[in-house]
Amino acid sequence: MSTKLPVNQMEPMAEYYPKDWNIFCELSISGKQPVHLKEGEWYPDHILSWYPYRNDDNVLFLMNEEMKKHPTKKIKKNADFLGVQRSDEEINQIAEATSFENMKKKGVQLLSNVNFFRKGQIADWKNHFTVAQSELIDKKFNEKLCDIDIKFSYK
């Protein structure tokens, strides 16, 4: 039994994920990419929607950059949050199984006609954003997220 998605099921996504980076970036920033968000919203709005609950017992904020830098530490934090006891050996096995390299390999096996995986590197955005795009996003992030105490690391 194949678990690969037929190409025709992916075509509707093309309008939300155009291949042209400049168009994709503009759609994202302007909130005209309505995948997983309300129309007119983008990534900072998603963060703000959860921010009031950040100290609730059933909410845990995890950042991709921290998961990448310290996978076993963050997996342990997640397990503790979920109330799941795991040995150091199990945490290491989870870190290995969920590494970018292993996830990419498995994803390619399941979805050979779609590549959701790129490089898995922190700060690779620097290779794609123009100076103007970077400055615009910094400005918009600072405007939207100026009143929150979450520290983001994009390096």
pLDDT at 92 (0 to 100): 97
pLDDT for the residue 71: 95
Contact 133/25 with Cβ under 8 angstroms?
Answer: yes
- Residue 42: predicted pLDDT: 83
Q: What is the DSSP letter of 13?
A: G
Per-residue pLDDT, 76: 97
The pLDDT of residue 60 is: 93
| Domains, the chain, with CATH or none | 7-145 (3.40.50.300)
> What's residue 82's pLDDT?
95
pLDDT means per 10 residues, the chain with 155 residues, are 47 68 83 70 87 94 89 96 96 93 74 65 80 89 88 71
CA distance 152 to 42: 16
> Could you give the CA distance from residue 72 to residue 89 in angstroms, rounded to a whole number?
10
Predicted confidence at residue 64, as pLDDT, reads: 85
